[in-house]
Amino acid sequence: MAKVKYKYNPNSLSFDRIKLTSGERILNFLAYFSGSLILAVIYGAIFTLLFDSPKEKVLKRENEQMRLQYELLSKDLEKVEKVLGHLQETDDNLYRTVFEAEPIPSSLREGGIGGVNRYEELEVYDNSSIVIETAMRLEKIKKKTYVQSKSFDELIALASEKEEMLRSIPAIMPISNKDLTRTASGWGYRIHPIYKIRRFHYGMDFTAPTGTDVYATGDGTISSIKSSKRGLGNHVTIDHGFGYQTVYAHLNDFNNLRVGQNVKRGDIIGFVGSTGLSTAPHLHYEVHLNGKRVDPANYYFNDLSPEEYERMIELSMRSGQSFD
């Protein structure tokens, strides 16, 4: 039952009952209703701040699980990045050093990913920063892995080429030289046996009886076969590739050779003689690298120990005169 309100009347010295009009009653109702609604909103907001709804609790759990999964993924990515970094370091500082190849430029390994915003569609999600950061790390790892994969493909080709190069480099003496007894005149200035003047001897002479086998010192292709009554006489040139050529001069005969024929290290290519400008049966042997003659003594590493190498150099320097 609604309360009855009274108002004191000084004229009649009594309390008169207050009667509200319809408008006043509506205003009072609206005032009470508004106040109650405001209080309800305030209470609701406080409740919402202090307590989660069941749906919010589920979402929070899912977010927490997702965050945990990204943290675990981040740790795995960190391990992958470390392994990839180790591969890159080994590639640049070991493999490419062995194969005499230039390291991969850091600008290529660490190159950014340009173009349009690849992660725009991820920006609408909660925790988008974590998702985008992870996506960016994955993209960088993919790029680095691709670069490293191409590098390994190149290294495989280089290894194959290196194996071929090792077979091709002149690495043995051109005749059998047991106990180094056939070592004669070496690289350097010598007295020419015919002209009797001091001339530079661009090769090494090996004394041997006529008809002694002469061996190819590395894999290669016969590039020229020439016969002459002067100079180098009967001589063969082998192109080994990789900038190397060898010359075998003053031969008595060739071993059924033809230009363009492939030979292997140790194949017999001819026989010792004394043709051309020569004073005695011997083999004059030269090594050319990139068009320049170099000391053959530096290319016997498949045949000689360090001690034998020193002994051979001593023997080759002992003679002051060449044989051609």
Are 110 and 236 in a shared domain? no
Are 127 and 32 in a shared domain? no
Residue 57 lies in a domain: no
Residue 55 lies in a domain: no
User: What is the reported pTM?
Assistant: 0.55
The SS3 call for residue 249 is strand
Supply the pLDDT for residue 284.
92
Blockwise average pLDDT, block size 10, the chain, 324 residues: 66 70 76 79 73 68 75 80 78 68 74 56 63 79 83 77 84 85 74 67 88 95 92 93 93 93 95 88 92 87 76 67 54
Environment class of residue 103 by beta-carbon count within 10 Å: exposed (0-12), middle (13-18) or buried (19+)?
middle
Are 215 and 304 in a shared domain? yes
Are 130 and 215 in a shared domain? no
Residue 56 lies in a domain: no
Are 123 and 198 in a shared domain? no
> Shortest CA distance to 167 belongs to which of 86, 221, 203?
221
> Shortest CA distance to 238 belongs to which of 247, 227, 229?
247
Are 111 and 27 in a shared domain? no
Are 138 and 268 in a shared domain? no
Are 137 and 232 in a shared domain? no
Q: Based on the structure, what is the number of domains in the chain? A: 3
Are 272 and 208 in a shared domain? yes
Structure tokens at 179: 């106990």
**Domain coverage including residue 34:** 6-50
Are 111 and 34 in a shared domain? no
Supply the pLDDT for residue 286.
93
